[in-house]
Amino acid sequence: MKKEFAVIGLGRFGGSICRELIREGMHVLALDLDEDKVNEYRDIASHAVIADSTDENVLRELGLRNIDHVIVAIGDNIQASMLTTLMLEEMGIKKITVKAQNDYHEKILNKIGADHIVHPERDMGKRIAHNIISNNILDYIELSDDHSVVEVIAGSKLSGQSLIELDIRAQYGCNVVAIKRGKEINVSPMATEEIVEGDILIVIGADKDISRFEKNLI
């Protein structure tokens, strides 16, 4: 049976979770106070409803209690986030993930009983800081909130293998746009191009894909 999810709050964070869950074939109920937000998700989510999640009757009527995992992605309105979490907890929802706005909010969510608290801005900031100082990442250019171009030094794992053998685009969803070797730079390398340890690869892609690529291959 398909797992049932609900995403409450369709800002950038909640919206992105909703899209990704749908992309992975999950069933998602999307909920927001804002009519425009809900309209935006009508054709994306399995169901999209305009509702105030702080209204207990609304949560019951929507059958939230039958949902396996609820993501509370309300941002600025900390009070609404806490109240929603508390009611979901009281309804006996098995798994509740909540986006925390600050450390104080996180502390209270812990007390209320949220199963998983995420702090995307803080955590992503940390991750990116690590990437920036990582020995393998020489340079980093942010293209958008979640896409970048990075320069990484090829380690021994990559050495002697071609781009096609590594199947980077298909396996990691990122593209090697150039390879620097000494003073030479090869822009738009051929798929058959063999990488040599110490080469500098210029990689473009989503941060999560680049990070996976770096973890596994560099």
For ligand ATP, the binding residues (CB under 6 A) are 8-14, 31-34, 37, 52-54, 73-77, 80, 121
> Ramachandran region of residue 16, left (φ > 0), alpha (ψ -120 to 50) or beta?
alpha
Taking CB positions, which residue lies at the least distance from ligand ATP?
A: 75
Minimum distance from CB of 217 to ligand ATP (Å)? Answer: 30
Nearer to ligand ATP, 32 or 199 (CB): 32
CB of 66 to ligand ATP, least distance (A): 19
Residue 2, number of CB atoms within 10 A of its CB? 9
Closer of 54 and 148 to ligand ATP (Cβ) = 54
In whole angstroms, the minimum distance from the beta carbon of 45 to ligand ATP comes to 13
CA distance 89 to 35: 26
Which of 144, 147, 133 has its CA nearest to residue 175? 147
Nearer of residues 128 and 153 to ligand ATP, judged by Cβ: 128
**Nearest to ligand ATP of 83, 200 (CB atom):** 83
Which two tokens mark 82? 């806490």
CA angle 125, 131, 132 (to 5 degrees): 90
Q: What 3-state class would DSSP assign to 122? A: helix
Q: How far is the CB of 19 from ligand ATP (least distance, A)?
A: 12
Q: What is the DSSP string of 171-202?
A: HHS-EEEEEEETTEEEES--TTPBP-TT-EEE
Nearer to ligand ATP, 10 or 166 (CB): 10
Please state the closest distance from residue 134 (CB atom) to ligand ATP, in A. Answer: 21
C-beta closer to ligand ATP: residue 37 or 69: 37
Least spacing, CB of residue 50 vs ligand ATP, in Å? 9
Instruction: Report the distance separating Cα 38 and Cα 44, nearest Å.
Output: 10
The whole-angstrom separation of Cα 31 and Cα 193 is 48
Burial class (CB within 10 angstroms; exposed 0-12, middle 13-18, buried 19+) of 177: middle
Q: Which is nearer to ligand ATP, 12 or 157 (CB)?
A: 12
Tokens for 13, please give them.
């964070």
Q: How far is the CB of 37 from ligand ATP (least distance, A)?
A: 5
